[in-house]
Structure 1
Amino acid sequence: MRFPLSPRTLLLATGTATLLAGCTVGPNFTPPAAPGTTAYRPASDKQQAAVANTPAVEQGNGPALRWWTAFGSPQLDTLVNQAIAHNASLEASNATLAASREEVAAIRGKQLPQVDANGRIEHEQANLAAFGFKPNPALGLSGNPEFDLYSVGGGVSFDLDPFGKLRRGTEEAAAKAEAQLRQTEAAHLTVAGQVVNQVLTIAAIRARIATANTLLQDDQRNVDLTRKRKQAGEGTLVEVLNAQSQFENDRSDIPQLNQQLAEARHLLATLCGIAPADLGPTDFDLDTLTLPQSIPVALPSKLVHKRPDILQAEANLHAATAAVGVATANLYPDITIGATISQGSNDLAHLLSNSTRGFDFFGGLLAPIFHGGTLKAEKRAAVDRAKAADATYRQTVLDAFRQVANLLQAVDSDAQSVHNQQEAVSVAQHSLHLSRRSYQVGNTGILQTLDAERQYQRAQSGLVEARARQFLNVAHLYVATAGGWTGDPTQTAASH
């Protein structure tokens, strides 16, 4: 309801509301405390002895912003920078972030006085009879006169926000914008990780193709050898067919590997924001990539203040807490004060004269009386959503710790796997060499040689898989403990 106020009453109401303006209802947000744990894994998980080429883990602040440079590939660096600059999904995320920041500015503007101006031109016909006037030519009252009416004016209103509804609303919007910022940071980090993952995948597939081609050459050598032995009367057609069968089986794997390589390249191009046909050479090789000898990993107490998904969950908790304040403020009265001024005349030349001026001051009070329990239910719902956001935050932290623990264990296990596979290749290669010599001198049949070759093939493939997995898990560990950023990856993230 709105009612007229005398200047004295208006001053009293303004002073009282100003005092009330310092009252902001609802809970104040307190950032969650850093976890007390200092390690990701129990001591029992670290009993495995380290082998050669096991990357050392250095716990501290975590990876640098441009963590992918640790792999020592300028070509990889260029692709990551290109993806950050041109990836369409990141452009959409950046635009969404900009929109959320503008929404904060729009909501914050409601805390300031609202000033409006208006102007109006009317052509009217006055119904004098409706007001009890009869036609009187002597007084100039003849019928219903027509005339033009011009008016201009303006007004100012200000919501005193005595219980902090607008302030809590601004706080909620700012927290949501913070959550969007963290989501955008996470998107950039994810895209960088995907580019690195695709580069490592391409290198691994190329290694598999190289291994397959080498084995195919060995298969062809077996075919030639069995044919020569048959021609010399020392071998049989069965041996030749067995060797040819092995050759054809191994050759059939190469088209599928080429298909996988093409798909990996196409995905890399998409991540970089270009068409597959526009992607340049991607002749990555596991042997030319650097496996970091030390990996900086953020301590648990640092990770919760650095990892974007955790920071996003914290911002969502902040927004949910502020929403409780908004719902609480809805239960209390709201006070608005303001003033208007207007100029009106039927003669445009005299529109701004003092004789046509009018003004008023007003104060408005809106107090909820009965809403069928809606406002209280909305507050309870806001409290429940805040509890849900708190639980989600705690779960996000635990999931992050679990992921880092798994990757730390994987780094140790991968080094051991690579070492074991290297030993397996060495043994299988020696066995294959002896089997070939034995076949050449007629001591064994071709089947034993083919079996030794298959063992060697499996060992070689296992080594490639182990090395690729080692590189990929190291990259995943970097992503799991790195901070996020937006825009140019060469700039330092403002929040870190």
Structure 2
Amino acid sequence: MNINAVTRRTGLFLTSAIFLAGCTVGPRYQPDRMKPPAKFTEDDHAATPEEIEETNKELKQWWHLFKDPELDKLVDKAITGNYNLQVAGQRIMAERAIRDVQASQWYPQVDTQASAGNVRYSINIDNWPLRPGTAAGSANQPQAAYLGYGFSASWQIDVFGRIRRSVEAENRAVEESIEDRRAVMVMMLSELAGDYMMLRDQQLRLEIANNNIHVAQDAYDLTNRLYLEGVGNTMQIAQAKAELDSQTAAREPLKTHISQITHAIDVLMGQMPGTSELELKVVRPLPPVPEFPSTLPSMVIANRPDIRKAERTYAEATARIGVAVAQLYPNFTIPLNFNPNASALYQVFQMGGMSWQFLMMASLPLMHGGKYTSQIRMAQAAAEASRLAYRQSVLNGFKEVEDAMAAWHDDEEHTELLAKAAEDSSLASERARKLYAAGLVGFLEVLTTERTTLNAQNAEAMARLERLQDAINLYTALGAGWQGIALTNTTLPVSLEKQNILARAFQQ
């Protein structure tokens, strides 16, 4: 057959295959749009577009709303130093590398090789061909020098989009890893802010405990003085001493908890526990509660990383259906081999030493016992499960927001009432001590009012902490905090480009 005719047919076949490469099988991804409600059931305020725009800006760095410079500084350190966040960033880069591995199938795969040396064969074989010039019966040494070099290449023509669908799926996997990092960011910010509020709460309760120890000490001294004056008795002295010991003992767990919280904050910032202990133990008041944010239900779907990840998981699963469907169609490959061989260096470049192969190969699955159709059904089921999981993520997201809003509204009045109760109890305790000093009431009344005051003060402090945690929970439920924070990168000590000079030239 004429070599030119073969070349023309091969070129025509290759051209046709390349034109067919635009045919990508499998379903196209269509987002499963869930319509959010017109407004939250727990939000009666009709926000204006200007208020919502302002809220969107504020929620990007919601920790600033607490107006606490110390908290702002801790957040900045945690964003740059938190190891979980850095690990999540490395997983993004790993997923991108996996995506690039899949994309490499679009390009020809080329390798080269070379060999040289002596080849000696066994002579214990009948009718072994004698070397030229060797007489029969003489020593036969079937050996020769060998030189060879060449290269091989293979190019897979993606006619039906198997590679394209694989790259599409890996692109979605990259997006999922990005959302994973954003989720780590949201939870890290929530944990850090929650720990900080708990630290300030424990410091406040420690201050309350110290004040109550001081009051108990005064009551004990007063009881002793009255006894010496002939007014009191030893039972009252014992009661006063027991109260003083009880108040002193209640202070110690607070000190332990404060140390543990500072250690947790250090770990969130990526530093050894105890690094910031002296700095964090400086007593500061609880921050004020921010104003209730003006929000829209659509913010939940737009911002929450778990919902965004679920949507991308569904998109990835849809692309995997196309990968499975493409297995039913022909697979086209162009192999190319060029391998000159000779026994001497000057012969390597002669026409007689040339050896090459250029083909167009196609394979089509015929009978595999239903393997490929089963893989398609499996991919379809996985995609449908991902779609349903996305819908469940949306429902869970709205539930968390509604719960956080309800807690915010309900705890506001609760805190105000407890603050009034603490104020009234403190006034009652002060009056009871004065009446006891005047001999108008017994010491039991003093103990009762003091314990009531302590409980009221601690309840108020806890309620203030819950109000601050309500705000943190709402910001977290809305998926705020990751916007505008860039991916943290780290550099490994080994650079692949420095290990192999070819890596710089050919992007291996």
When the two structures are superposed, what TM-score results if normalisation uses the length of structure 1? 0.88
Q: Which residue of 1 aligns with 2:82?
A: 87
> How far 1:120 sits from its partner (Å)?
2.2
In the TM superposition, residue 451 of structure 1 has moved relative to its aligned partner by 0.7
Return the alpha-carbon distance in structure 2 between the equivalents of residues 488 and 31 of structure 1: 26
Match of 1:115 among 94, 110, 116: 110
Q: Distance in 2 between matches of 1:92 and 1:112?
A: 31
Q: Which amino acid aligns with 1:327?
A: A
C-alpha distance 431-129 of structure 1, shift in aligned 2 (>3 A): closer
Worse-superposed segment, 339-348 or 203-212:
339-348
Name which structure has the greater RCO, CA cutoff 8 Å, separation 6+.
Answer: 1
* CA deviation after TM superposition for structure 1 residue 110, in Å: 0.9
Of 408, 416, 433, the match for 2:413: 416
Distance in 2, Cα, partners of 1:455 & 1:286: 26
Summarize the Cα distance change of 1:233–1:119 in structure 2 as closer, same or farther, 3 Å threshold: same
Check whether the contact 2:200–2:286 (CA below 8 A) recurs between aligned residues: no
Identity over aligned pairs, percent:
25
Cα distance in 2 for partners of 1:337, 1:62 equals 55
SS in 1 for 2:28: coil
Q: 1:365 to 1:144 in 2, by over 3 A?
A: farther
Aligned to 2:31: 31
Residue 282 of structure 1 aligns with which residue? 280
The answer to whether residue 339 in structure 2 is matched with residue 339 in structure 1 is no
Give the C-alpha shift of residue 98 in structure 1. Answer: 1.2
* Aligned-pair CA distance for 1:33: 2.1
Q: Which residue type is aligned with residue 291 of structure 2?
A: Q
Which one-letter code corresponds to 2:386 in the other structure? A
Paired amino acid for 2:24: T
Aligned to 1:320, which of 317, 322, 330? Answer: 317
SS at match of 2:22: coil
Give yes or no for the alignment of 1:74 onto 2:72.
no
Choose which of 269, 293, 296 in structure 2 pairs with 1:295.
293
Structure 1 pair 476/140, CA: closer, same or farther in 2 (3 Å)?
Answer: farther
Partner of 1:464: 461
Q: Which residue of 169, 190, 195 corresponds with 1:193?
A: 190
Q: Does the 8 A contact of 1:119 with 1:152 survive in 2?
A: yes
Report the Cα distance in structure 2 between the residues aligned to 1:306 and 1:72, rounded to whole angstroms. Answer: 23
CA distance in 1, matches of 2:81, 2:366: 55
Aligned 8 A contact 2:116 2:146 in 1: yes
Q: Of 222, 228, 237, which residue of structure 2 is paired with 1:225? A: 222
Task: Output the CA distance in 1 between the equivalents of 2:354 and 2:126.
Answer: 24
Instruction: Give the conservation status (yes or no) of the 8 Å contact 2:426–2:453.
Output: yes
CA distance in 2, matches of 1:490, 1:81: 13
- C-alpha deviations, 1:381-426, integer Å up to 9, x for none? 1111111111111111111111111111111122212211111112
CA distance in 2, matches of 1:254, 1:434: 25
Single out whichever of 385-394 and 116-125 deviates more from structure 2. Answer: 116-125
- 2: CA distance, partners of 1:57 / 1:446: 58
Partners of 2:132 and 2:337 lie apart in 1 by: 38
Question: 1:96 pairs with 83, 91, 99, which one?
Answer: 91
2:158 to 157, 161, 166: 161
Match of 1:174 among 171, 193, 217: 171
Name which of structure 1's ranges 200-209 and 245-254 shifts more when overlaid on structure 2: 245-254
How far 1:210 moved relative to its partner? 0.5
Name structure 1 gaps, 5 residues minimum: 48-55, 492-496
User: Partner of 1:272 in structure 2?
Assistant: 269
User: Which residue in the other structure is 1:53 paired with?
Assistant: none
Which residue is equivalent to 1:20?
A: 20
* 8 Å Cα contact 2:21-2:158 kept in structure 1: yes
SS of equivalent to 2:391: helix
Q: 1:24 & 1:277 partners in 2: Cα distance?
A: 58
Change over 3 Å in CA distance of 1:137–1:26 after alignment to 2: closer
> CA separation in 2, counterparts of 1:276 and 1:65?
29
**Residue of structure 2 aligned with 1:484, choices 482, 485, 492:** 482
Kindly provide the CA deviation profile for residues 294-316 of structure 1, in whole angstroms up to 9, marking residues without a partner as x: 5354x222321222111111111
Amino acid at match of 2:365: P
Please tell me whether the aligned partners of residues 239 and 446 of structure 1 are also in contact (alpha carbons under 8 angstroms). Answer: yes
Q: Is the 8 A contact 2:435 2:441 kept in 1?
A: yes
Superposition deviation, residue 19 in structure 1 = 3.3
SS at match of 2:409: helix
- 1:86 maps to a residue whose letter is G
Contact 2:130 2:142 (8 Å CA) reproduced:
no
In 1, the alpha carbon distance for the partners of 2:273 and 2:60 equals 28
Q: Structure 2: which 5+ residue stretches go unaligned?
A: 46-50, 490-508
Out of 124, 132, 135, which is 2:119 matched to? 124
Residue 134 of structure 1, CA deviation: 4.8
Scaled by the length of structure 2, the TM-score of the pair is 0.86
Conserved 8 A contact 2:55-2:294? yes
1:356 to 1:137, Cα distance in 2 relative to 1, 3 A: closer
Contact 1:286-1:468 at 8 Å conserved across structures: no
Q: What amino acid sits opposite 1:21 in the alignment?
A: A
CA distance in 2, matches of 1:136, 1:237: 126
Task: Check whether the contact 2:89–2:488 (CA below 8 A) recurs between aligned residues.
Answer: no
Describe the shift of the 1:129–1:23 C-alpha distance in structure 2 as closer, same or farther (beyond 3 A): farther
Per the alignment, residue 10 of structure 1 pairs with 10
1:63–1:478 CA contact under 8 A, matched in 2? no
Report the number of matched residues: 476
SS at match of 1:276: coil
Give the root-mean-square deviation of aligned CA atoms: 2.8
Superposition misfits of 4+ residues, deviation over 4 angstroms: 56-60, 126-134, 136-142, 485-491
Q: Deviations over 1:183-223 (max 9, x none)?
A: 01211222222211111110010011001111111111111
CA distance in 2, matches of 1:230, 1:70: 55
Describe the SS at the equivalent of 2:280.
Answer: coil
Between the aligned partners of 1:428 and 1:462, the Cα distance in structure 2 is 12
Paired with 2:488 and 2:355, the residues of 1 have a C-alpha distance of 61
